[in-house]
Structure 1
């Protein structure tokens, strides 16, 4: 399938938890993966996998996990707001704010980890694997689109080794990282220490109203111990600390506007894509402090090996972001402050048979529990019209939300593989889960009231204070007992060609919106559970004495109740009672906008292919492409439909179609804003010059133009090219290269809001004249030096 996306990945394999078969003499060395929880050569795994070794990440200056998308077609890892990392694979999208388990799960050293921590810092990495298709039968959690596994380097019990790497660019970015491994008791006990300091300007956006550029500073350190008290026992202990401070301005695009009546004050100047400007008057800052402790053990019992992995993660994400993102209300700041603790304990125990001739098996148990109280403070002022805020014609309202988090999962899994003949192998895996979540949103609303303004026919409004639960008691608790798993059949056509068939089932529990507006219908508060069934066929082949590989696959996946998040949906929560609490039926007035979770049936189908290898000793290359159609299947979904035609739009006066709290539109549209086709390619050409080796390498990604009906926007094609020219020393001990990223200096919008950023009022809305966007970063030049010992 789509695999081997990093060309050097097929040339520099690294041993994993168990000994993998090695290529015969004269063949190129292939990479070893642990996608099936056993160490196998990539070409032997009946699964679509993209791989990037640590060496490849360092060579391509990939310092952020989001940049791994440059090595895998149909994978998109984004962070448009500085706080909510999102992952899309095979057109299947995920927003962490929707409260479900991820569509693409993330694992650090085989432990599930949150995206906000995993994506922040990449250093001293052994390998990253992108596993495509439903996952979970062999890992702790189920995910419908795939999984990304990150494995850090372990201490070397016998030798001192390490590296240091430093990078600087013309955009004031820097990255210094390194690691060193030292045997404390040779052959028995070793220590590895690694660290990172990274700074950059994130999305390169300058806030013209605050005279402030986006910027980021990350510091992280990792300490690992490896202990082998006897030959049959290996114990690893890792502690990682991370601190990240991001000030990421929200980019705007459009002519701007003077939103308030009778007031010439502009939201900001006209903004083109290449201007990279923001206009919010308030702060946007996101700080992440994270501690991660991981214990791993394997004990060879002879017929089988016992594996244990456990972890404790405690992270706190503090977020302060001006909700008036496009300055739609000039001289008004609405900072939302959120404190999100991420306290998770995880443990997994597995017993795995050692390689047998006919039958191999595994059994295991998994447990995870997440707790912590999320707190949110913000304003929800009610404006009586789009007046200058100096007039004070609005009802000040403060909203404080407490979200107690409780998520608990335990599951039991078993798998068997049967080698019926030298050519035919069948694998069966199943997992029974027990998932429980309690989702509440205690919302406190208070206001000092309003004295009234007879000239504008605004009556006095008394002060009020109330506390309510956004999630009704009957919707707060969710318990599910999913049975997931899969079957794969592998047939070796010849020593250089293997075909496979795979079936997988995934499941995600329904989720409640813990800070949804009050007095809305249940379907907008809580989703149903999601199920999907996927079928896949693939062919993996090698040519020219295994110097070239060609892999191709086709798949089909059917979703029953696919869960997604719909952003910026206008809502009407009805008239307020005398206590200021919405209590009546929808009254035709838009009271605000919110991001709602919702279900819709969907299908995903596609083809993926990769050709990669080393045709001659001094040239490596890899080209991977995918064509995927991920579409809703006659789903009725939340939308903004101002003109009432049943299709998403934000043209004209804001309005809600129909008698409910929001508008709904029938949809057969894309599940995400990705085009059907995507391609990645990379190559390195080396030259001989005595003990020195000059080289040139390139990394290219392409995605064609695509029209998004949700955003009503035609995204232009992207052709992103990175080039590297350098020199390395004997045995690749040192290297220096100069590079240019986005050589073509393409400035493309990568995400955009449906319409202009608005602030609803009792009359005409404040209109900023801007749409909120994210864009590709401009061209960047830099230099990297590295030394290995």
Structure 2
């Protein structure tokens, strides 16, 4: 047997969890609002300057600190409850993904995200910033391509998270504690200390624990998913004059998550059904075997499990630890005729992930161990200069730079690549098994076996340097603004593979030399036109162009075609028309936006694709491939906020986004040969390629076209306290996701809150119920049964389960908040 070939094919089993390393963007600090706003108006920094929400020529959803507190939003992922069309998920316990307007994203694709995330206007990644949310001033969801105002572009939009800054006037702060019926707790506090009218400090902290997806592992003695997060932040503010301000912030984060993958299905006896090893002519025994121990052929992957069981069957642990340090400095200097702004940031994070890759327990008694350690540091700097004039011609110029370094290391057990060694071991097999008619047993010799350990190093070296300029003209109710950004994107990717154990080799470079260096110089940007029809109504048009570099697979199977190794760059153009305004003395605020977006080479990731390669010896398996496909999106977004009475608030928002591929040929599992994604029958490749390809006009991801939410609060003022009742409902219809080959049911999620607050604003006590209707709905599902490939046996072992994520069951809680 050619063990060199097996060693080469072993590389594809190195599932480098965090090799899709974070890509960053950021913005400069926005200056204070030029004009005082009425209490009912919301001020946003979407355009990197403080403006009324009504005046911003793009669709923006805002979650204020008050809304976050009212609806108990302790996790950034729950912001999607306030922003239809936004979907933030963590399906596998390690990678936070953000989708918007039907445009989805998988962090393992190795590209910039579809939705860029900014934390205090600094480059960061969702895996870090989504982990802890506390003492937040405001979150803004910017919809549509971002290619001008920030250093890196994004095809779907951006999320900006701004934390509270210190007060220079009075000592102020808050403390809040929450406990839930499912052993969840959240304690957070913050205090501002003004030492003078020029220097102040704000300190905030968080301790949070919960059961994540509420899953219990039946093969680990009922162990539960569990999370604990601790974080602290300090911000120093300095305002030596009315024209200069600077803020220095440091945040520390330590998170430890154990999350088991939920499965549904009947389970299986994989050894009996799917795998045997030929040890002599006509003699087959169940696979795998190790030394003298032939596994029990009746061993099951686990019991039958349904949606409401919240059960997992993996035999190994899944532990994700995140330690992060973030420092940033933001400064603004008003020169009179213009403002000079600077943002500098340094982030160092270490992600340590240990997990059993056989999440469906397709090989009972075997844990496919993987440990991925990803340390990375990111340094960012941006300098901007813009004019201060509000009428006539305006301008702005800027330079942006970000560099990321760090080496990801992967250690993975690959004992499914069994290697025969001396000495041999004698076992007894039935006479009938070796063709002898007499009853009883006879000695038979089996080789001892050893496994292969794989070690992968992935050095990361990426940098972006960009320059931008924009011009604007405003005359009365009319304003037009546009600009361009020129970027130099440099990426150097290498991957070294080392094998040890039964066979030893390496380190061997596995990325072809011609794919290691990638240089791109895109031009992105856009233009907006805004016209104030009346003081309370604005109409706008926006055009945006964004760009994402392609990626090279860092641990792909040997002997596959070029299209599966590297994706080409993605380009997108978007056109948007919108109307924003208010009525009845701002008791009603509304916005409506309609848009069309076209993609040239949309980059997506296709998980669990079965592949085959004829290199040296036939090899096969399952892998996740990145691929391009043309696509287009059409959509409408509507929001309405009303105050029917003084003590009744009502909000309604909805989005319709039809995001579809346009006759794209994409990797798929087509086991039945129907030309459509399916997992029916034995794994096989249709056609002459390494994988099957399906023609698609389907969804870009597992996202429904329509989403809607309704929020309301009714207050009952009394002499000293104000009791209230509030509710938040989210709705999405049923839909079919082609890539998942799954029909998702409709969802109606209702959260209910009741309590009171003192009229001086110092105390608030409330109780709440999440998922009041206790709906159990699948939110994501694997496209086929969870499997594990056994190379020596030449078979694929199926677990009898599908990997799923399910909405968390009903949960009750109580919160006590005090402000001072």
Question: What is the TM-score normalised by the length of structure 2?
Answer: 0.88
Deviations 1:496-537 (A, max 9, x none): 221110000000011111111222222111110000000000
In the TM superposition, 1:119-518 aligns within 5 A as 119-184=130-195, 186-211=196-221, 212-261=223-272, 263-382=297-416, 396-419=451-474, 421-448=475-502, 463-518=503-558
Q: After TM superposition, give the deviation of residue 467 of structure 1 in Å.
A: 3.7
Q: Residue 17 of structure 2 aligns with which residue? A: none
* 2:550 is the counterpart of 1:519: no
Q: Is the 8 A contact 2:417 2:452 kept in 1?
A: no
SS at match of 2:67: helix
CA contact (8 A) 1:470 1:517 kept: no
**How far apart are the structure 2 equivalents of 1:23 and 1:255?**
60
Matched, 1:735 2:764: yes
- Aligned pair in 2 of structure 1 residues 647, 428: CA closer, same or farther (>3 Å)? same
2:626 is aligned with 1:597: yes
Out of 32, 35, 52, the residue aligned to residue 18 of structure 1 is: 32
2:55 is the counterpart of 1:44: yes
Alignment partner, residue 786 of structure 1 = 817
CA contact (8 A) 1:381 1:394 kept: no
The question of whether the paired residues in 2 share the 8 Å contact of 1:20 and 1:41 is answered with no
Residue of structure 1 equivalent to 2:572: 532
* Secondary structure class of the residue paired with 1:731: coil
| Alignment partner of 2:125 out of 98, 107, 114 | 114
SS across alignment from 1:765: strand
- What's the CA shift for 1:396? 2.3
With over 3 angstroms needed to count, the CA separation of the structure-2 counterparts of 1:260 and 1:685, relative to structure 1, is same
**What whole-Å deviation, never above 9, does each CA across 1:682-724 have from its counterpart, x for those lacking one?**
1111111112100111111111111112221110011101000
Asked if 1 retains the 8 angstrom alpha-carbon contact of 2:638 and 2:653, the reply is yes
Structure 1 counterpart of 2:44: 33
In the aligned structure 2, how far is the partner of 1:360 from the partner of 1:166?
A: 48
- Say which SS state the counterpart of residue 613 (structure 2) adopts: coil
**Alpha-carbon deviation of 1:565?**
0.5
Q: Contact 2:40–2:586 (CA<8 Å) still a contact in 1?
A: no
Aligned residues: 741
Contact map agreement 1:384 1:393 (CA 8 A) in 2: no
- Structure with higher Rg: it is 2
CA deviations on 1:191-248 (whole Å, 9 max, x unpaired) are 1000000000000000111121000000000000001122211010000000000000
1:383 offset after TM fit, Å?
5.8
Residue 645 (structure 1) shift? 2.4
Cα deviations by residue, 1:147-183 (Å, 9 ceiling, x for unpaired): 0000010011111111111000010000000100001
Question: Shift in Å at residue 377 of structure 1?
Answer: 1.1
Query: Which has the higher mean CA deviation after the structures are superposed, 565-574 or 266-275?
Result: 565-574
Change (3 A) 1:103 1:596: same
**Partner Cα distance (1:765, 1:384) in 2:** 15
Change (3 A) 1:501 1:531: same
| Distance of 2:669 and 2:459 partners within structure 1 | 31
Of 600-609 and 729-738, deviating more is: 729-738
Deviation at 1:764, TM superposition (A): 3.9
**Could you report, residue by residue, the CA deviation over 1:284-320 in whole angstroms, capped at 9, with x for unpaired residues?**
0000000000111111111111110110000000000
**CA distance, structure 1, for counterparts of residue 89 and residue 535 of structure 2:** 40
Distance 2:729 2:395 in 1: 41
Q: How far is 1:130 from its partner?
A: 0.2
Secondary structure at the counterpart of residue 228 of structure 1: strand
| Alpha-carbon distance between aligned partners in 2 of 1:245 and 1:500, rounded to the nearest angstrom | 46
2:33 and 2:536 map into 1 onto residues whose CA distance is 21
Unaligned runs of 5+ in 2: 1-28, 273-285, 287-296, 420-444
Q: Tell me the equivalent position of 1:71.
A: 82
Do the aligned residues in 2 keep the contact of 1:382 with 1:395 (CA within 8 Å)? no
Q: Deviations over 1:397-428 (max 9, x none)?
A: 22211111011001111122211x32211011
Other-structure match for 1:771: 802
2:638 corresponds, among 600, 605, 609, to 609
The normalised TM-score by structure 1 is 0.92
Indicate yes or no: 2:781 matched with 1:752.
yes
Residue 341 of structure 1 and its aligned partner are, at CA, apart by 1.2
